[in-house]
Amino acid sequence: MTLDWAAGSGRLSAGGASLEWSTWGSAPGRDPVIVLLHEGLGCVAMWRDFPEALARTTGCSVFAYSRAGYGQSDPCALPRPLDYMTREAKDVLPDVLDALGAERVFLLGHSDGATIAAEYCGLVADYRVRGLCLMAPHFFTEPQGLEQIARARDAYSNAGLQAKLARYHRDPDCAFWGWNDAWLSDGFRDWHVGEVIDHLRIPSLVIQGHQDTYGSIAQVDEVVDRSYAPVEILVLPDCGHAPHLEHRDAVLMTIVEFITRLERIEAAEVETVCKR
C-alpha cells in the first residue's frame, strides 16, 4: 500500500514492524525522491531541519523514516544480530521503497544509514535508485571508532546521554543498547562489508568529516578503490561525524550539484535514445 504523502507523516509496515515516517516537499512526481537513512542512534526527529532545507534547496521530495528500535517506530528484539545492517538493507528497505511509490530515488544515508544504503545497492537490483549519497559511511571496524563507541557507553550510563536520547526515542534503551552492544561485541571486530561496493553500478557521493572519530578516510578510500561506478568525494575540514549538521551549507550545495548533474546526464541519455 502506497503511503499518503500529503499527510506529512504516518506509519508504514516494513520488515514486519510498524515504522514512523515523515515527508517534506511536494508529492513524488517527475523529480526524484531523496530517501534519508539515519545513523545508529538517529531517527526522523534527529535529522532536525536538514530534510526541510534539503527539499527547499534541491527542489526534490524528501522522505525519512525511523528503523525499528528507533524514534517512535516499533521496538526491535535485542540483542541485534551482528549483520543487522545487512538485514535492514535486504529485508526492510525494499518494503519501505515499495510503500513510497516513487519511480526514481536517491538514497542518502548517514553512518549506519550510509552503510545500509550501500549494502542495498550492492545486494539488491533496484533500478529506481539513481544515486547514492554516503555521509560518514563505515564498511569495516577501526580501533578509534570502537573506542568512541565504548566512550558512548559510559556517557549513556553516567553522563546524561540516556536523557538526551529519551527526548527522541520512545525506548532509548532499545535504541542505544541495540547499537552499542552489537558494535562492541567480540564478533563485530572482524565485521567487513566492503565487498558490496564491488557491485555498485550507480554513482556515489561520499562525504566525510576530517575529524570524524567514528571512522577515518580509509572508509572513503574503500569506496574509491572498489567501486566500478563513478565516485565523488567531499572531505570537510574541522568536521566530525555529522557533516550535514556541522557544515550544512557545504553539504547541501554538494548534494544539489551531484543530483543536478546526474539528472542532466539521464535527461540527455533519454533524449538521445528518443532521437534514435
Backbone dihedral region for residue 110 (phi beyond 0: left; psi -120 to 50: alpha; all else: beta): beta
227 pLDDT higher than 80: yes
Domain assignment of residue 122, given as a range: 5-275
Indicate the residue type of 198. D
What is the rounded average pLDDT of the residues 101-120?
Answer: 97
pTM, two decimals, is 0.96
Residues 17, 95 contacting (CB under 8 angstroms):
no
Which CATH number fits the domain that encloses residue 93? Answer: 3.40.50.1820
How many separate domains does the chain show? 1
pLDDT per residue as tens digits for the range 253-266: 999 999 999 999 88
Backbone dihedral region for residue 169 (phi beyond 0: left; psi -120 to 50: alpha; all else: beta): beta
* pLDDT at res. 140: 98
